[in-house]
């Protein structure tokens, strides 16, 4: 009896794989998500300023103002455009500059007289990635140039305590290391839900649910077939992305055990595919499933700790999201891939992930049994 059940689950799973193979849209989504999406997510936002357009109004025409102007050069900034005060507002309104710096008259004289002169910096805040990082960067640059001009040389004040900065796990502080690995973790969640949910809705749209109901198979076998087949696809896609895109093409080192990480991926897939089936039993069509997916994925990914630390969230949200499978998956994934943690460190999220997945599976199975006859 057990052998027959396993054979049914295997053959139904093979049927799901053939159905997926004949769906070019889904195949394209899988390939895009684990290749181009991983690369663009890790490199789209620059770590530093890159060719930020800046205009300067120099009303002082002094040695100090020229020193400040010369501090802005590529690749951080475009060559500064020297404009009149009357052109500054119009240029900002037209979007020609992200930054417009106004150096007032008598600026050098006031600095040498130990007064407190002010420089006006106008920022186009609609260009968020450049505006927020650039405004602080420009303030530091101007302060450094003014201090060097006053001191006439580069002097470093010796403090009684010296701070030695050591960045662990990412010594060069490269953003793409975090972005690429975190994107794979997020994509595993997204694609596993989409594939299983779409597989069930495809059965309904093609009218093959009736065929399954008259076959000597149980609801448990149908559900397990969809889980193992779609989970296998995501497991192969994510492993290929990690080896060929992240480690091969982008040359990002992995500190931890990759087999241990994919054990965590398998547990996460068990939970996520079950969730995908549950959503598919609620939705009546693919558009409805897409809307449900948006309402589900955004909270799961934003509140799981992958984008912002869970400690910075309200305690109420932390307590609720503890029971989300994505929270445990992000915790074990980041610990293994980023910090090289072993099983002695991540055994708790592994256990939590297993029980969360088991609860989602049983809940989805109950819902599937209740609705499968109405789906036909």
Domains with residue ranges and CATH for the chain? 2-44+174-375 (no CATH), 54-151 (3.40.1710.10)
**DSSP state letter for 55:** E
Distance CA(197)–CA(281), nearest Å, equals: 8
Distances (CA, A) of 50 to 72, 73, 75, 125: 12, 10, 6, 16
More confident residue, 45 or 330: 330
Q: Which residues contact 311 (CB under 8 A, 6 or more apart)?
A: 318
**DSSP state letter for 221:** H
> Does the pLDDT of residue 79 top 80, yes or no?
yes
pLDDT at 251: 86
> Does the pLDDT of residue 312 top 60, yes or no?
yes
Position of tokens 């040389």? 153
pLDDT at 163: 62
pLDDT at 77: 86
pLDDT (mean) for 203-221: 77
pLDDT at 151: 78
> Does the pLDDT of residue 241 top 90, yes or no?
yes
pLDDT at 308: 75
Q: Which residues contact 232 (CB under 8 A, 6 or more apart)?
A: 13, 17
pLDDT at 228: 93
Distance CA(355)–CA(227), nearest Å, equals: 17
pTM of the predicted model as reported, rounded to 2 decimal places: 0.73
Distances (CA, A) of 259 to 7, 42, 130, 237: 27, 23, 39, 15
**Whether 238 contacts 188, CB under 8 Å:** yes
Give the model confidence (pLDDT) of 155-171 as tens digits.
Answer: 555 556 666 667 677 77
pLDDT (mean) for 57-68: 91
Chain-wide mean pLDDT for the chain? 85
pLDDT (mean) for 165-185: 75
Give the model confidence (pLDDT) of 246-305 as tens digits.
Answer: 988 988 888 889 999 999 999 999 999 999 999 998 888 888 898 999 889 888 888 888
Range with lowest mean pLDDT among 194-208, 282-296, 342-356: 194-208
pLDDT at 82: 92
Give the model confidence (pLDDT) of 1-42 as tens digits.
Answer: 788 888 888 988 998 899 889 889 899 999 999 999 998 887
More confident residue, 372 or 147: 147
In this structure, the dihedral spanned by the alpha carbons of residues 213, 218, 220 and 222, taken in order and rounded to 10 degrees, is -40
Distance CA(367)–CA(79), nearest Å, equals: 63
Distance CA(192)–CA(226), nearest Å, equals: 11
Range with lowest mean pLDDT among 159-168, 343-352, 361-370: 159-168
| DSSP-assigned letters across all residues of 272-314 | HHHHHHHHHHH-SSHHHHHHHHHHHHHHHHHTTTSSS-GGGS-
pLDDT band per the 50, 70, 90 thresholds, residue 374? low
pLDDT at 157: 55
More confident residue, 192 or 152: 192
């Amino acid at each position: 009896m057990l052998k027959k059940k396993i054979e049914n689950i295997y053959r139904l799973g093979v049927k799901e794989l053939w159905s997926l193979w004949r769906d070019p849209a889904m195949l394209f989504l899988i390939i895009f998500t684990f290749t181009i999406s991983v690369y663009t997510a890790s490199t789209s936002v620059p770590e530093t300023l890159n060719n930020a357009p800046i205009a300067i109004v120099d009303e002082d025409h002094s040695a100090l103002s020229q020193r400040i102007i010369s501090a802005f050069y590529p690749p951080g900034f475009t060559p500064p455009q020297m404009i009149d005060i009357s052109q500054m507002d119009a240029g900002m309104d037209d979007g020609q500059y992200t930054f417009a710096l106004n150096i007032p008259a008598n600026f050098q004289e006031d600095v040498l007289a130990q007064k407190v002169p002010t420089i006006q910096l106008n920022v186009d805040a609609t260009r968020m990635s450049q505006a927020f990082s650039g405004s602080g960067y420009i303030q530091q640059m101007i302060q450094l140039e003014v201090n060097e001009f006053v001191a006439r040389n580069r002097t470093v004040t010796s403090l009684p305590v010296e701070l030695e900065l050591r960045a662990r796990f990412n010594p060069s502080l490269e953003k793409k290391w975090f972005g690429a690995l975190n994107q794979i973790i997020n994509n595993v969640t997204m694609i596993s839900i989409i594939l299983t949910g779409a597989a069930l809705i495809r059965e309904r749209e093609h009218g093959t649910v009736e065929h399954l109901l008259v076959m000597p198979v149980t609801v448990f076998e149908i559900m397990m077939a969809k889980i193992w087949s779609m989970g296998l696809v995501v497991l192969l896609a994510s492993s290929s992305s990690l080896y060929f895109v992240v480690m091969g093409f982008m040359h990002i080192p992995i500190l931890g055990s990759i087999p241990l990480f994919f054990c965590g991926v398998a547990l996460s897939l068990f939970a996520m595919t079950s969730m995908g089936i549950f959503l598919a039993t609620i939705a009546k069509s693919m558009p409805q499933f897409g809307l449900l997916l948006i309402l589900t994925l955004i909270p799961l990914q934003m509140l799981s700790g992958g984008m912002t630390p869970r400690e910075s969230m309200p305690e109420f949200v932390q307590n609720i999201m503890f029971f989300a499978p994505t929270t445990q998956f992000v915790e074990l994934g980041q610990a293994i891939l980023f910090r090289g943690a072993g099983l002695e460190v991540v055994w708790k999220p592994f256990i939590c992930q297993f029980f969360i997945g088991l609860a989602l599976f049983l809940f989805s199975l109950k819902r599937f049994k209740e609705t499968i006859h109405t789906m036909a």
